[in-house]
Structure 1
Amino acid sequence: MPEPSPSRKRHGRLLRRGAAFMVLLAVAGYLAVQYVTGGTGTPGCDVVSGKGDGARYEFTPEQAVNAATIAAVGTGRGLPEQAVTIALATALQESGLRNIDHGDRDSLGLFQQRPSMGWGTAEEIRDPIYAAGVFYEHLVKVRDYTRLPLTVAAQRVQRSGFPEAYAKHEPDATLLAAALTGRSAATLTCEGRPGATRAAGADAVRDALLRDFGRDALQPAAAEVSGEKASPSPTPSVIKKDERTVELPVRADEDSGAGRGARERGWQLAHWAVANASDLHIKRVSYAGREWVAGNTDSQWRASGGAGASGAGSGVSPVRIVTSR
């Protein structure tokens, strides 16, 4: 059999190299899309429907921290759950719920806000608290935003080139909002594998709570808390039991205007702690007779048998957070 000519050999090598290059481009493109839309990385966290209809959404610890912050800022402003759902769907579309430092032109952060368009400085926009707050400031100016289709309300804030893109994230955002506002009890779990992004211990938990909820939001009111009369205090109601443990007395959000009771407030704080478990090295969270423990293979909330063990909806006991170190 005659040997292939040198030119045919070169042509074959070029074809193989071209094919390999196209495969690499396809893989890179897939990974880029998955990164932006929140599809990369080990999920580690899971939120399920409180309706028992089987709906669920898997996401990463990084996404969990940012989602919990967005929810805390929204409820802290007395906004309804629908506002939080709109904000979460927007962040899922714009950044995959990641606080990224790049985007189209000068877009940055969770909501891909642009300094050149008056959203704030680059440093401000990269702060999740600020970014969520300024998003809500624009959202509440949209007339009847709670009655509009989610994608329409989001688009009137964002002015995106893809106005229908937010709709596909509504189911996942709805599950997240129900858990992270506390309406849906014991529905958010994470594996809680320790990360290395923040300090650990009771002081770190306290600082993170103040960051997301603010001093005013954590101050106790003159109301019954765990059977005892609480008095207004200039210090947040984060009771440090020891170097690894904090307790959060739960009260209704009476001043927020959102009509949220103690039960919702407690589950918001409990789910917030689970969402931040990897960052803050949290190993155990308990509330209303339920307990979450980091590292369980199923990461479920289980009956704790302790104070407030009458069920997930009792909302009597404080939220107890225990760190690993």
Structure 2
Amino acid sequence: MEKLLSSVNSDYNNDKHNWYEIERQVTNIAKAGFTHTQWIHDWEAEYIYSPSEMFQARDLLKDLGIHAHSLHASEGGIRTIKENGKKIFQNRYRLTNIRKDYTSTNEYCRLAGVDLLKNRIDLCSHIGASVMVFHMQLPWKLFEESPQDKEDYYRQVCKSLDELEPYAKAAGVRMALENLIVTPWQVQEEQFDRMFNRYDSDFLGFTFDSGHATLMCRHDFYYFLRKYHKRMYATHLQENESISEELAKDDTAILEHDKHWVPMDPRGHGTLDWAEIAKWVAKSPVELPADFEVGIYGKDEQDEMEQLIACRKTAEKFYQMVLDEKKKGQS
């Protein structure tokens, strides 16, 4: 019988910036029986991994027998802040407080942002990950108000990706753009079309975040999945409840509904058709197992571990669903 594979995010419990918590979570992932992880620690802000830390991450995974086939990079800066007790996502206009931003019109900041992404490509090489997920935050209100600023933005993005392409290819790492929250789906679609028309599939692909899709693609949760599945190299599989149209322009409400529940929760959380998602994952070039990106907390350590084991069993179930779909396609 074929071994069932499973993958969960390395920061399933928290993204605290210390090695004690990193090691605790990755160790728990191994104890719970997962075979793979997506390394997501430091997915935000401007932290640079030193070579010794890359070896530390490599050895931690190796000693525990956990494979990392993907990693979540940071595009620099912190965009989720609290203002008057409410979560605010700062992406309607360009932020001025980011020192490493590969989209920046300031050439020094842009080059620093390229260095940040190269740092994560290096980390991929150390831990054995072949896919690097990243964000392209789109200042969409600025785009609406100034077509010239939009073209300036894309010019800088392409300058950065042109520089990253040979570096990533030499490392054997594909970069994969993720669909986002708090960004209209039409703006994201233009981004994907521009980038995929310009860059080949050996360099640039797509990451499908199922939870983000329920919030931003309310007309069709699977729209991006169907359109871009042939370039899908990574997944962030999670469940959310979608939102009403009246809340769709409320950034705080969107952020609060990004729950990161475990898929196929027997309690009935969420709205997604996982058979449909399995069908498109099976048609994609994603290296299995597909990555879950969930939040697991628990009232104590035992409860956390029990939830983590239940998540692993669900990830194995989804893995089998994808295998079954692949067999259907071959018959």
- In the superposition, the TM-score normalised over structure 1's length comes to 0.29
- In the superposition, the TM-score normalised over structure 2's length comes to 0.29
Name whichever structure is richer in helix by fraction.
2
Bigger CA radius of gyration: 1
